[in-house]
Amino acid sequence: MGAKQSSDVSKNKDPKGILLAKKRQKFSQWDDVLVGKDPRSLLKRGMRHISFSLVTKGMTDIPDFLWGLSEIQKLNLSHNQLMVVPAEVGKLTRIVVLNLCGNRIKSLPKEIGLLRSMKVLFVNMNCLTEMPPELSLCKSLEVLSLSHNYISHLPSTYSELSGLRKLNLSNNCFAHIPIFVFSLKGLDFLHVGSNRLENIAESIQSLVSLQIFIAENNNIHSFPRSLCLVTTLELLNLNNNDIQTLPDELYLLSRLDRIAWNPMDKGLHISHNPLSKPLPDLVEGGLDLLFSYLKDKKHS
| 35-130 and 165-299 have identical folds | yes
Alpha-carbon gap, residue 178 to 30, rounded angstroms:
40
Alpha-carbon gap, residue 247 to 236, rounded angstroms:
14
Amino acid at 16: K
Indicate the SS3 state at residue 98.
strand
- Answer yes or no: are the C-beta atoms of 188 and 165 closer than 8 Å: yes
Domain ranges of the chain: 35-130, 165-299
Domain 35-130: CATH architecture, name and number where available: Alpha-Beta Horseshoe (3.80)
pLDDT in tens, 230-266: 999 999 999 999 999 999 999 999 999 999 999 889 9
Terminal alpha carbon distance of the chain: 107
Looking at domain 165-299, what is its CATH homologous superfamily? Ribonuclease Inhibitor (3.80.10.10)
> What's the pTM?
0.87
DSSP E strands in 43-145: the ranges are: 44-45, 50-53, 74-76, 97-99, 120-122, 143-145
Indicate the SS3 state at residue 214.
strand
Alpha-carbon gap, residue 251 to 69, rounded angstroms:
54
pLDDT in tens, 167-204: 999 999 999 999 999 999 999 999 999 999 999 999 99
Q: How many CB atoms lie within 10 A of CB 56?
A: 11
